[in-house]
Structure 1
Amino acid sequence: MGTIIERRTKRGEVKFQAKIRLAGTPIISKVFDSRADAEAWIAAVEPEMRARSRTAAREQAVAKQVREFRDRPRIVADLLHRNLCEVTPFKKGAEAEVNHTRSILKYPLTRIHLENLTQRDVREWRDKRSQHVAPSTVNRELNILSAVFKHAASEWDIALCKSVLTSVKRPPNPPGRVRRLSRQEEAALRRAGEETRNPYVLSIFDLALETAMRRSEILGLEWERISFERRSIQLITAKNGTPRGVPLSRRAMEILRALQQIAARELGHECAVTSGPVFPGLTVNAFKLAFTRMVQRAGLENFRFHDLRHEATSRLFEKGLSQMEVSTITGHKDPRMLARYTHLQVKDLAAKLD
């Protein structure tokens, strides 16, 4: 806390020395000509020091927790907490992994000692979890557990039974979702988009239908990655980790040209904008809320933004593109992921049999 000491110099002048002492931070002091100035300095500086002190205390607590997990992991939760501190933050899907890990930590499985962990414990967790979430969610969380156990064994030198997860049967995933968008629904969405206050929602909607790009890929677009001469977008950080080029249709080019003009007007530039984000200031959460309201106004049911990627992929097949050409555009590495769209080519195959 702050204190003020009145001192008299050799010349007989009265000075006021203000000192601030807080646990975990160095003592700071300053000399003033008046008590009022000293009090004002303490009032201005002390809150900032207290905030830094609290931050330092939290950092020390986290570091201590990490050291404890590193030195003597006892239960499954110890590994999951250490993974959240050291591994998860550096992953592309960090936010989703944090949420899944927090869900896992709510179950008794995480309070079992590592030496006593068995397949039966994992199976019991799997069965209980399956009562509340979809099979795909259970499998994602099993993947997280598997990755944490493997990392603990290979990087943290923590002995674990390798067969704990390898022989646990996973619930079958449901068939891939394909929610088509009818022309009437598309028109309703456009009308709803014109009424939204967010100026980017309709443009993002159109880009999704024209390019089959993911939401994260569109929201993260930068003008440096767009080539109007080559009619393409070069994605550097795609979901699967592999860069890819996305060809642009004439409609997609029109959308991007219009966005470029809007950006130039807002910045007061006479020339076209060639750098920076395409959608400046638009957060993922803000877009989610705006798109949800747009779907509700349009009166659509059971429709998500990712369904636009499915619709765009279906339209690529309907244009006559081959599976290899479509996968090049969409970035699907596994051809089996496109198997759900093969019915769109049946009529073309039948024509070839004539």
Structure 2
Amino acid sequence: MGTIIKRTSGKGVVTYQAKIRISGFKIISRTFPSHEEAEAWLRATEPELKARSRETARQQAHARLVEEFKERPRIVADLLHRNLREETVRKKGAEAETHHIRSILKYPLARIHLENLNRRDIKEWMEQRLRDVAPSTVNRELNILNAAFKLAANEWDVAFCKSVLIAVRRPHNPPGRVRRLSPAEEGALRRAGEETRNPYIVSIVDLALETAMRRGEILGLEWERVSFAHRSIQLTETKNGTPRGVPLSRRAMAVLLTLRQVAAYELGCTGELDSGPVFPGLTINAFKLAFTRMVKRAGLQNFRFHDLRHEATSRLFEKGLSQMEVSTITGHKDPRMLARYTHLQVKDLAAKLD
């Protein structure tokens, strides 16, 4: 019940102030000449206010449930869209994961209700997907689905079969791709690059072949990360999240020195340029288009930019570097990823058997 406070004015007049405090409402008070009247007002008013408070709380709870229902994924597409908004955007590989999720959304799997989802649905999607892409792509997308399902079940409290991916037989990944670049192809690639309007493309190819750096690592390179004194690049943003140092060959040093001199001249710098992007204004999409045109003009078949990293790795082994030394340069955490290059050392092993 509310409270009643006795008050006496300066002239000796006695009054009684009745107050009602209910959560969610402002304090209501009335002043009466007698205690009985104040108490009667409390008895008549408080139940009504409490009833209104309960109704307001009920309406608020209903509104929260409605909003939660709107947000709660009901079909696979809902779950994947929420995953894109809340999880994918925070990842280093957000662009690639977004591409994979959008591909999954095009298939009937995306329209299945989560409570009806079962392993047969996953298998059917896999069969459909394998008609369009390689097994390795399907396995990457299975990993994305698995992570999204676990997140939904454990953190979003979404009711569906948590074991939907258990015992689903995954397709076997093909052997690791190793596409070598012959001297003739390298020459054709350079000539085609010199005819390309993009002024950086030949330098980027040179750096890829000399350092085995990934495309994103090269395009995102900044002068602050290049040490000419120590002939090295210190990468802080890498695919696996582990910073690493990349030693520079004389050829790589020459390429970077030329790039720095040209950039300093264009910017009107009197001293040495030591900050800012190495390839200013060059976006990933613009580079992709330029590289595709260059490869086509050079007449190379079945060649991708990542093949330059494979070629560079092969050349490191051919120079006599050990697997540990190569992994330090390339950033491969799993030695098995370098196993495809071990055939390059067979001739050296055979020589040791003499």
State the Cα deviation string for residues 196-238 of structure 1 (Å, max 9, x = none): 2111000001000000000100000000011111111111110
Q: Match of 1:163, SS?
A: coil
Query: Which residue in the other structure is 1:127 paired with?
Result: 127
Contact 1:264 1:270 survives alignment (8 Å): yes
CA distance in 1, matches of 2:70, 2:84: 13
2:268 maps to 1:268: yes
CA distance in 1, matches of 2:326, 2:70: 46
State the Cα deviation string for residues 304-334 of structure 1 (Å, max 9, x = none): 1111000000000000000010000000011
Q: Structure 2: 5+ residue runs without aligned partners?
A: 1-63
Residue range with higher mean Cα deviation, 100-109 or 246-255: 100-109
Letter in 2 for 1:322: S
Query: Which residue in the other structure is 1:341 paired with?
Result: 341
2:106 maps to 1:106: yes
Shift of 1:157: 2.2
Letter in 2 for 1:146: N
Query: Which residue in the other structure is 2:19 paired with?
Result: none
- Select the structure of larger CA radius of gyration: 2
CA distance in 2, matches of 1:200, 1:136: 32
Contact 1:69 1:79 survives alignment (8 Å): no
Change (3 A) 1:70 1:152: farther
Change (3 A) 1:87 1:67: farther
Shift of 1:335: 0.6
Corresponding pairs, count:
290
Residue range with higher mean Cα deviation, 321-330 or 105-114: 105-114
Letter in 1 for 2:166: T
Query: Which residue in the other structure is 2:228 paired with?
Result: 228
Query: Which residue in the other structure is 1:331 paired with?
Result: 331
Change (3 A) 1:67 1:352: farther
Change (3 A) 1:301 1:155: same
Query: Which residue in the other structure is 1:205 paired with?
Result: 205
TM-score (norm 2): 0.79
Residue range with higher mean Cα deviation, 268-277 or 133-142: 133-142
Shift of 1:72: 3.2
State the Cα deviation string for residues 220-276 of structure 1 (Å, max 9, x = none): 000001111111111111011111110111111111111110110000011111000
* 1:275-290 equivalent positions in 2, closer than 5 A: 275-290=275-290
Runs of 4+ more than 3 Å apart: 66-72
Change (3 A) 1:264 1:146: same
State the Cα deviation string for residues 287-320 of structure 1 (Å, max 9, x = none): 1111111112211111111110000000000000
Letter in 2 for 1:104: I
Q: Match of 1:233, SS?
A: strand
Contact 1:107 1:125 survives alignment (8 Å): yes
Contact 2:146 2:165 survives alignment (8 Å): yes
* 1:133-212 equivalent positions in 2, closer than 5 A: 133-212=133-212
Query: Which residue in the other structure is 2:55 paired with?
Result: none
Q: Match of 2:277, SS?
A: coil
C-alpha RMSD of the superposition:
1.6
Letter in 2 for 1:351: A
Shift of 1:187: 1.0
Q: Match of 1:148, SS?
A: helix
State the Cα deviation string for residues 26-61 of structure 1 (Å, max 9, x = none): xxxxxxxxxxxxxxxxxxxxxxxxxxxxxxxxxxxx
Q: Match of 1:234, SS?
A: strand
TM-score (norm 1): 0.79
Contact 2:72 2:158 survives alignment (8 Å): no
Shift of 1:71: 4.3
Shift of 1:120: 1.1
Contact 1:332 1:338 survives alignment (8 Å): yes
Contact 2:192 2:298 survives alignment (8 Å): yes
CA distance in 1, matches of 2:83, 2:201: 36
